[in-house]
Structures are given as structure tokens and as C-alpha cells.
């Protein structure tokens, strides 16, 4: 009888341990969902490849000094940590995860293996999961879905808009034409037409229905403080803003604009000029125009206290200047130093 009682006790304890193990595994592997239509990065950053992203006091960035690998740091550039061993773009973040497009070419003894696609990982870079293998040009988080541009050489439509659930349970084509998903506000995606016109359109994430907002001639719209900022296609890509409540347009600069970004009180933009190209900045109403750096620059990414950019024809050096106050352009030395330390570990 004692042996039987002992055996029953052992079996009961074993059952509890097994059930507890499965419970822990379930909760640790379960994907945590978002409340509401949270987004993963600013439209301006994503229009500039999404190389920087700030969330809950942490800046995540693609370190060009380390082949674009994902790093994290404090907003002032301290406490740098390497999170991936492959290059990333279109960085998004919510309170639980990071999302990004990862592209890796790893050379073996007899072959080259390339891993690329949309990934989700923990905020510390651990437990990366591939959600979708393939080419994703740009992606933006909206609640529990990632809207992304999918490019396929074998598809006659070229670039199409898809959305995939963050737990990988759904992957749906939304539009059979090119749509830029960068600008999403309160569950509404704003984008310019690419087929027969360049109107301003809205996509409602609740049902993915598309409607015309304004029959303008625009490119790369950003909704900010009640205005739609955009590049005016019909007028040499000058930068304007549209106030829908008054159906009014304001010209902010007559400079031809290659790319731009908005944060706080400022617009930073690349001026296209045969003789005087320059990275410029101005207030969001078009006043206070000043030059940041002479020359051609791209990938203007902005976080809470710095503006990051690089020369048009080279990803390094990385440059930065304070977002506010006087212009003080410097090389992003902390990123280079962190990359050198990581490379020396190999």
C-alpha cells in the first residue's frame, strides 16, 4: 500500500510539472497583441528607409558601420547594444516587439545562403521569427498587423500591398498596385495614387476599404497636426501642405525636394539643385529656412533629439545634428566605435 501511495504521489507531482511546463511554454511563446491602432514608426522615418525608430525611451537603428545590423541605444547615443547579425531596414517597434525587414548574405564553403524577409523579435533582439520570406520594400505596424509592400519579379503587377498579422496567422493581399503604407494615423492609412493619378487616398484598416480624400497631385504624404504635408508632383516637387478643414494649400518652399521628414517644430529636407544642393531645415509653417549641410544627402531619420543622415552616394560616414537649437553637424562616432568593438569580438 505504501509503495502504491508513493507511486501515485510521484505520478501526481510529475503531472503537475508537465502541465506547468506546458503552461510556461504557452505563455512565453504566445504573441502579445496590441490594443488599438498603434503604429511602429513615424511616416517620415519610414519614407527614408526606416533606419531609426524610437520607442519607450530607446532608439533602435541600422548601424551602417556594421553592415546595417540592428543596434539599440539611449537617445543621447550611449549604452549601445548589437541586436542582430544581419542588416535591417523599415524598423518598427511596439511595447513588446521589434519588426523589421532583414536581409542577410552568408557565405559558406560551397554556396551562398541568403536569408531575407519580415522578422519579429523581442525588444532585446532575442527570439527572432521570420513572418514572411521575400522582398518587403516598406512596412508599417497598424495594431496587430504589418502592412507591407511586396515585390515579386514574377508578378506582372510588380509591387503590391499586403498585410500580415504579427503572429503570422494571416497574410492577405490588400491592393494589386503600389501603395506606400508609411503614413497611418488612428487606423487610417494615407497614401498617394500610383496608377492613374496622384490623388490623396485613405485606407481604413477596419475593413481595408479605399476612398479618395483629395484630388491633388501629391507624393509621400505625411499627416501632421491637422495638415497633409506632401511633395507637389505638378510643380517640380516643391513642398506644400494641405489643410482639409479649409480645403487650402500652402507652399512651404519652391525648392525641388528629393526627400523630407517632419518632427516637432521642424521639417528637414534635401534640396535638389544643379548648383547648390543642400540638406535644409525650416519650421513646419515654411519660415526660418536655413542650410544644414551643403551637398546631396539621403535617409533623413529623426528621433527625439537628433537628426541622422548620410551622403547620397555612401552610407558612411553617418552624420547627425541636434534636432533643436543651432545646427551642429558631426559624424556619428559612437556608432562607428560600437561597430569596431563588435567586429573585433569575432
pLDDT class of 7 with cuts at 50, 70, 90: low
Question: DSSP character for 290?
Answer: E
Give the Cα separation of 178 and 169 in Å (integer).
24
Name the nearest CA neighbour of 94 among 136, 43, 146, 45. Answer: 146
**pLDDT at position 28:** 41
**pLDDT at position 108:** 40
**pLDDT at position 8:** 58
Fold of 36-344: Methylamine Dehydrogenase; Chain H (2.130.10)
Report the pLDDT averaged over residues 67-85: 98
pLDDT class of 18 with cuts at 50, 70, 90: very low
**pLDDT at position 109:** 41
Give me 261's grid cell. 521628414
Is the pLDDT assigned to residue 111 strictly greater than 60? no
Higher pLDDT, 270 or 136: 270
* DSSP-derived secondary structure for 122-175: ETTS-S-EEEEESEEEEEEEETTEEEEEEE-TT-TT-EEEEEEETTSS-EEEEE
- How many CB atoms sit inside 10 A of residue 232's CB? 22
**185 forms bridges with which residues in the sheet?**
188
> Could you tell me the residue ranges of all domains in the chain?
36-344
Name the nearest CA neighbour of 239 among 34, 47, 46. Answer: 47
**pLDDT at position 306:** 99
**pLDDT at position 224:** 98
Report the pLDDT averaged over residues 168-190: 97
Is the pLDDT assigned to residue 50 strictly greater than 80? yes
Question: DSSP character for 49?
Answer: T
pLDDT in tens, 297-319: 999 999 999 999 999 999 999 99
Give the Cα separation of 190 and 229 in Å (integer).
11
**pLDDT at position 154:** 72
Report the pLDDT averaged over residues 116-130: 98
- Mean pLDDT estimate for the chain: 92
Is the pLDDT assigned to residue 12 strictly greater than 70? no
**pLDDT at position 344:** 92
pLDDT class of 287 with cuts at 50, 70, 90: very high
Is the pLDDT assigned to residue 219 strictly greater than 80? yes
**pLDDT at position 29:** 59
Q: Which residues contact 278 (CB under 8 A, 6 or more apart)?
A: 270, 271, 291, 292, 293, 294, 295
Give the Cα separation of 229 and 66 in Å (integer).
34
Q: Which H or E element spans position 344?
A: helix 333-344
* Percent of the chain scoring above 70 in pLDDT: 89
Strand 145-151 and strand 159-165: pairing?
A: antiparallel
| Preceding amide of 317 cis, omega within 30 | yes
pLDDT class of 15 with cuts at 50, 70, 90: very low
Is the pLDDT assigned to residue 246 strictly greater than 70? yes
Amino acid at each position: 500500500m505504501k509503495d502504491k501511495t508513493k507511486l501515485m504521489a510521484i505520478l501526481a507531482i510529475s503531472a503537475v510539472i508537465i502541465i506547468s511546463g506546458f503552461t510556461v511554454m504557452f505563455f512565453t511563446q504566445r504573441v502579445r497583441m496590441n490594443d488599438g491602432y498603434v503604429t511602429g514608426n513615424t511616416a517620415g522615418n519610414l519614407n527614408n528607409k526606416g533606419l531609426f525608430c524610437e520607442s519607450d525611451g530607446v532608439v533602435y537603428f541600422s548601424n551602417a558601420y556594421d553592415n546595417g545590423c540592428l543596434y539599440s541605444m539611449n537617445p543621447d547615443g550611449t549604452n549601445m547594444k548589437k541586436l542582430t547579425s544581419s542588416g535591417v531596414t523599415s524598423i518598427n517597434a511596439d511595447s513588446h516587439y521589434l519588426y523589421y525587414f532583414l536581409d542577410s548574405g552568408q557565405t559558406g564553403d560551397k554556396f551562398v545562403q541568403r536569408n531575407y524577409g519580415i522578422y519579429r523579435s523581442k525588444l532585446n533582439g532575442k527570439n527572432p521569427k521570420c513572418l514572411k520570406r521575400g522582398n518587403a520594400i516598406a512596412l508599417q505596424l497598424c495594431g496587430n498587423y504589418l502592412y507591407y509592400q511586396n515585390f515579386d519579379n514574377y508578378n506582372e503587377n510588380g509591387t503590391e500591398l499586403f498585410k500580415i498579422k504579427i503572429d503570422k496567422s494571416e497574410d492577405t493581399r490588400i491592393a494589386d498596385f503600389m501603395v506606400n503604407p508609411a503614413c497611418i494615423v488612428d487606423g487610417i492609412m494615407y497614401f498617394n495614387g500610383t496608377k492613374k493619378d496622384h490623388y490623396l487616398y485613405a485606407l481604413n484598416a477596419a475593413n481595408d476599404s479605399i476612398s479618395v480624400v483629395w484630388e491633388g497631385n501629391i507624393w509621400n504624404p505625411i499627416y501632421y497636426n491637422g495638415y497633409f504635408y506632401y511633395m507637389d508632383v505638378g510643380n517640380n516637387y516643391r513642398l506644400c501642405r494641405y489643410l482639409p478643414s479649409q480645403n487650402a494649400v500652402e507652399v512651404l518652399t519652391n525648392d525641388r525636394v528629393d526627400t523630407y521628414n517632419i518632427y516637432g517644430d521642424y521639417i528637414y529636407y534635401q534640396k535638389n539643385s544643379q548648383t547648390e544642393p543642400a540638406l535644409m531645415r525650416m519650421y513646419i509653417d515654411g519660415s526660418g529656412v536655413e542650410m544644414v549641410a551643403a551637398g546631396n544627402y539621403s535617409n533623413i531619420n529623426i528621433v527625439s533629439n537628433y537628426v541622422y543622415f548620410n551622403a547620397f552616394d555612401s552610407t558612411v560616414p553617418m552624420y547627425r545634428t541636434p534636432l533643436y537649437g543651432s545646427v551642429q553637424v558631426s559624424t556619428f562616432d559612437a556608432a562607428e566605435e560600437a561597430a569596431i568593438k563588435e567586429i573585433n569580438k569575432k
